[in-house]
Amino acid sequence: MEYQVPRKFPTTVVGSYPKLEPAKQALRKIRKKQASPDELRGLFVEAIRGVVEDHLWAGVDIISDGEQTREDMVVYFAERMNGYMPGEWTRIFDNVYFRKPIIYGKVEWPGPLTVEDWKIASSFAEGRPVKGILTGPYTMLEWSFDLYYGDRREAVIDLAKELRKEIEALVNAGAKYIQIDEPALSTRPWKEEADIVKEALKIMLAGLDVKKIVHICFGKIEYILPYILEFPVDQFDLEFKNSNFRLLPYLKEYGYDKELGYGVIDVHTTQIESVDEIVEDIEKLMKLGILSPEKIYIDPDCGLKRLPREIARQKLKNMVEAAKIARQRW
Amino acid sequence: MTVWGMILGAYPRSRLARYTLRDRERGILDYTQYTSRLLMIHSEIIGVQKAHGLPVVVDGMVDWHDIFRPFIKRWKNVSIDGLLRYFDNNFFYRIPVFTGEPDPLEPVWLPRIRQFKNLAEPSSLKIVLPGPFTFVNLSQNASDLSKTELAESITSILKSEIELVKEESVFIQVDEPLVGDRRLSKEEVEEYLDYWNEIASLSSENSAIAIYFDVPRKEVFDIVLESKFKYVSVDVIDSKRRAIELLEKTGLPGHVPVLGIVDARRIHEDSLDDELLTMIKKLSKESHEIVLTTTTWLDLIPYTYALKKTKILSKFVDIVSEKIGLEKRILWR
Q: How many Å lie between the alpha carbon of B27 and the closest alpha carbon of chain A?
A: 15
Contacts of A100 in chain B (CB under 8 A): 90, 302
Q: What is the DSSP string of B45-56?
A: HHHHHHHTT-SE
pLDDT mean over A300-319: 97
Answer yes or no: is pLDDT of B225 > 90: yes
Alpha carbon of B100 to those of B72, B96, B154, B326: distances in Å? Answer: 12, 12, 12, 50
- Is A1's pLDDT higher than 70? no
In tens, the pLDDT along A19-61 reads 999 999 999 999 888 889 999 999 999 999 999 999 999 999 9
Separation between Cα atoms, residue A139 and residue A215, nearest integer Å = 11
Note the pLDDT tens digit of each residue in A233-267.
999 999 999 889 999 999 999 999 999 999 999 99
DSSP codes joined into one string, B167-189: GG--EEEEE-GGGG-TT--HHHH
Q: What is the pLDDT of residues A201-231, one digit of tens each?
A: 999 999 999 999 999 988 778 989 999 999 9
pLDDT in tens, B73-102: 999 999 987 778 899 898 999 999 999 999
Domains of chain A: 21-329 (3.20.20.210)
* Chain A residues within an 8 Å CB radius of B13: 91, 95
- Spatial neighbors of B235 by CB under 8 A, at least 6 apart, are B180, B211, B212, B213, B214, B215, B243, B260, B295, B296
Predicted ipTM of the assembly: 0.92
Chain A hits for B22, Cβ within 8 Å: 95
Residues of B in contact with A102 (CB under 8 A): 267
Question: Which of B12, B13, B85 minimises the CB distance to A187?
Answer: B85
Residue B319 C-alpha, separation from nearest chain A C-alpha, in angstroms: 24
Mean pLDDT of B121-132: 97
Cis bond before residue B122 (omega within 30° of 0): yes
- Which DSSP symbol is given to A185? G
Q: What are phi and psi of B214, to 5 degrees?
A: -160, 180
Residue B319 and residue B323: Cα distance in Å, rounded? 6
pLDDT in tens, A114-142: 999 999 999 999 999 999 999 999 999 99
The pLDDT tens digits of the residues spanning A138-178 come to 999 999 999 999 999 999 999 999 999 999 999 999 999 99
Other Cβ atoms less than 10 A from the Cβ of A172: the count is 10
- For B226, other C-beta atoms within 10 Å of its C-beta total 12
Burial class from Cβ neighbours inside 10 Å (0-12, 13-18, 19+) for residue A173 reads middle
Closest partner CB to B91 (pick from A91, A145, A188): A91
Residue B333 has pLDDT above 80, yes or no: no
Residue A220's Cα: distance from chain center in Å? 18
Cβ atoms of residues B153 and B101 within 8 Å: yes
Task: Give A16 to chain B, closest Cα distance, Å.
Answer: 18
Give A89-145 as a DSSP string.
EEEEETTEEEE--EEEEEEE--S-SSHHHHHHHHHHTTT--B-EEEE-HHHHHHTSE
- pLDDT tens per residue, range B177-220: 999 999 899 999 999 999 999 999 998 789 999 999 999 999 99
A93–B25: do the CB atoms touch at under 8 Å? no
Residue ranges of chain B whose CB lies within 8 Å of a chain A CB: 12-13, 15, 18, 21-22, 25, 65-66, 82-85, 87-94, 183, 266-268, 299-305
For A55-108, the pLDDT digits (tens) are: 999 999 999 999 999 999 999 999 999 999 999 999 999 999 999 999 999 999
Q: Quick check: B66 pLDDT over 80?
A: yes
Tell if the CB–CB gap between B90 and A219 is shorter than 8 Å: no
Nearest to B88 among A91, A188, A242 (CB): A188
CA distance B273 to B271: 6
Residue A2 clears pLDDT 90, i.e. is over it: no
For residue A269, the model assigns a pLDDT of 87
Output the pLDDT for position B72: 96
Q: Which residues of A touch B21 (CB under 8 A)?
A: 95
At residue B331 the predicted structure's pLDDT band, cuts being 50, 70 and 90, is confident
Residues of B in contact with A89 (CB under 8 A): 15, 18, 302
Strand-pair partners of A259:
A235
Domains in chain B: ranges and CATH:
2-328 (3.20.20.210)
Is B304 in Cβ contact with A88 (below 8 Å)? yes
Q: Is A153 exposed, middle or buried (0-12, 13-18, 19+ CB in 10 A)?
A: middle
**Ordered DSSP codes for A159-184:** HHHHHHHHHHHHHHHT--EEEEE-GG
Q: pLDDT digit string (tens) for B109-121? A: 999 999 999 999 9
List B174's β-bridge partners, or say none: B129, B209
